[in-house]
Amino acid sequence: RDLGMNRVSIGVQDFDPRVQAAIGREQSIAATKALVESVRKRGVRSVNFDLVYGLPHQSEAT
State residue 47's pLDDT score: 97
State residue 62's pLDDT score: 76
What's the domain range around 46?
A: 7-51
- What sign does the dihedral 49-55-60-62 (CA atoms) show? negative
State residue 1's pLDDT score: 59
Counted domains in the chain: 1
State residue 50's pLDDT score: 96
**CB 17 within 8 Å of CB 56:** no
**CB 35 within 8 Å of CB 10:** yes
Residue 58 lies in a domain: no
- Please give the average pLDDT of every successive group of 10 residues along the chain, which has 62 residues: 84 96 96 96 94 94 80
